[in-house]
Amino acid sequence: MSSLNQPLSEVDPELHGLIRQEYDRVMSTVQLIASENFPSRAVLEASGSPLQHKYAEGFPYLRSKKSDYVREWEKDGRYYEGNMIMDQIERLAIERAQKLFGTEYACVQLFSGAPANECVYYAFMEHGDHAMAMDLANGGHLSHGSPVNFSGKRYNFMPYGVIEKTGIIDYDKLATDAKEHKPKIIVAGATAYPRIVDFPKFREICDSVGALLLVDMSHFAGLVAGKAHPTPVGFADIVTTTTHKTLRGPRGAIILADNERGKDIDRAVFPGIQAGPHLHQIAAKAVCFHLCMQPEFQKYAADVIKNAQLFGDEMMKQGFKLVSDGTDTHLILVDLRGRDYSGNKAAKALIRAGICCNRNMVPGDERPPMQTSGIRLGSPFMTTLGFGDDDFRQVAKWIKRVLDDIKNEEEIAKVKKEVAELCATFPHPEFRL
């Protein structure tokens, strides 16, 4: 019999076993990586559905010849036949994204966050053009002009940063530097910034130098969708976001804008940078946006912030310093400067205790990126799995026990056992495997 119809556990027990092991690892330890989340079962079902097969290069519409701004949904914009159903799926994802975030235009084909930013740069800049974005060491993302990334090699990015003492973006310096650097695009939004970005201020600075404002809300998009965080829509010219972080959707990304910019974004995405869209992921994005519009998701978003805040308060009570002394969002950044271990050592000790986080640079960090003087801790994943106030407070106490005696493997093993006991009391999400 053909292996086509056999379950994974039978045709490939080795890989099946590894997936099982990874699931068990996740469910028996504490996940604090701020960019991670566990997707809903319905998202996983759509993502693992038989929609992988189809080539659908193009869009489920044509741009009107009469006007540049109108998408003609009834006309065939694909390069392959047989996309009648796929057109409906992609349209559903587009319309739900537009409704969820309140924009005129959405592109749902982006494979991931970094290519989404690449498409925006490609649409609105020429090679060598000037741009500005948050410094990597201050919480920026690789795709925001890092010298080792395509963005930093193709475009002339000038970084901006935070005021070291307060951890808040130095808007005054940004405004002055923008006048000198004359960027075509200013990127707002980062991977390790615990505070709300001042969108009106960014708009004002962009207007003063004629730059486009790109808000990359990859980290906090779920908080925006859940109405627990201000929206950049209305201030930004273009918004990019991943769908797999706080949005709790499948791996992937979207771009939001008005129709006028949408026309250029469409061309940059296809045929500019990407080819065949991943319809199984687009279907899963449609499910994700549907779930984000439910009242339950608003409670989730509010809980994510509440949990991050009380987690941060407990960390400070345990004697840790936080960048900007707290958070408005889903993440906290722990400043370990002045301690005799690096962020790397801290993260490695914590994972041995069943607590998973990542090392992170802090403002003014003197250690190199592989060492760092900080760790980043996020609440989205464990809030999804049902952790509440007491659980996050307990995690802060465990972190204190591990880091205060970082070489004490006996204590680390004790914490690991307690972690596993707590995790076992939470119902594990079901999925088909």
Residue 191 near ligand PLP by CB under 6 A = yes
Residue 329 near ligand PLP by CB under 6 A = no
Q: How far apart are CA 186 and CA 199, in angstroms?
A: 12
Number of residues that bind ligand PLP (CB under 6 A): 14
State which amino acid sits at residue 231. T
Task: Please state the closest distance from residue 221 (CB atom) to ligand PLP, in A.
Answer: 10
Residue 243 near ligand PLP by CB under 6 A = no
The interface region with ligand PLP, picked from 82-90, 183-191, 228-236, 333-341 by CB under 6 A, is 183-191
Phi/psi of residue 293, nearest 5 degrees: -85, 0
Give DSSP secondary structure letters for 358-407.
EEE--TT--S-TTT-SEEEEESHHHHHTT--HHHHHHHHHHHHHHHHTTT
Q: Which two tokens stand for residue 261?
A: 């910019």
Which entry of 87, 118, 135, 216 is annotated as an active-site residue?
216
Q: How far apart are CA 218 and CA 297, in angstroms?
A: 17
Task: Please state the closest distance from residue 250 (CB atom) to ligand PLP, in A.
Answer: 11
State which amino acid sits at residue 55. Y
308 vs 403 by CB, closer to ligand PLP = 308
57 has catalytic annotation: yes
286 near 41, Cβ under 8 Å? no
Q: How far apart are CA 152 and CA 357, in angstroms?
A: 27
3-state helix, strand, coil in the chain (%, to 5): 45, 15, 40
242 vs 324 by CB, closer to ligand PLP = 242
263 near 306, Cβ under 8 Å? no
Task: Please state the closest distance from residue 113 (CB atom) to ligand PLP, in A.
Answer: 2
The interface region with ligand PLP, picked from 79-87, 187-195, 199-207, 289-297 by CB under 6 A, is 187-195
Which entry of 23, 55, 69, 171 is annotated as an active-site residue?
55
Residue 379 near ligand PLP by CB under 6 A = no
Task: Please state the closest distance from residue 283 (CB atom) to ligand PLP, in A.
Answer: 18
Residue 229 near ligand PLP by CB under 6 A = no
Which entry of 245, 248, 359, 376 is annotated as an active-site residue?
245
Residue 219 near ligand PLP by CB under 6 A = yes
Q: Across-strand partners of 214?
A: 187, 238
What residue is closest to ligand PLP based on CB? 113
Q: Which long-range contacts (CB under 8 A, 24 or more apart) does 204-208 make?
A: 205/171, 205/174, 205/175, 205/178, 206/178, 206/237, 208/175, 208/178, 208/179
247 vs 419 by CB, closer to ligand PLP = 247
- Near ligand PLP by CB under 6 A: residue from 32, 120, 190, 395: 190
Handedness of CA 292, 297, 302, 307 (dihedral sign): negative
Phi/psi of residue 63, nearest 5 degrees: -75, 130
The interface region with ligand PLP, picked from 152-160, 211-219, 229-237, 405-413 by CB under 6 A, is 211-219
242 has catalytic annotation: yes
Residue with the two structure tokens 């003609």: 72
Task: Please state the closest distance from residue 307 (CB atom) to ligand PLP, in A.
Answer: 19
Residue 216 near ligand PLP by CB under 6 A = yes
> Where in 253-282 is the site for ligand PLP (CB under 6 A)?
253
294 near 137, Cβ under 8 Å? no
44 near 431, Cβ under 8 Å? yes
Residue 330 near ligand PLP by CB under 6 A = no
Q: Which two tokens stand for residue 386?
A: 């049902």
Residue 189 near ligand PLP by CB under 6 A = yes
Using a 10 angstrom Cβ sphere, with 0-12 exposed, 13-18 middle and 19 or more buried, the burial of residue 82 is: exposed
> Where in 80-139 is the site for ligand PLP (CB under 6 A)?
112-114
Q: Which two tokens stand for residue 23?
A: 């699931």
Q: Which chain residues interact with ligand PLP by CB under 6 A?
A: 35, 112-114, 141, 143, 189-191, 216, 218-219, 242, 253
Q: Which residues are catalytic?
A: 55, 57, 216, 242, 245, 251
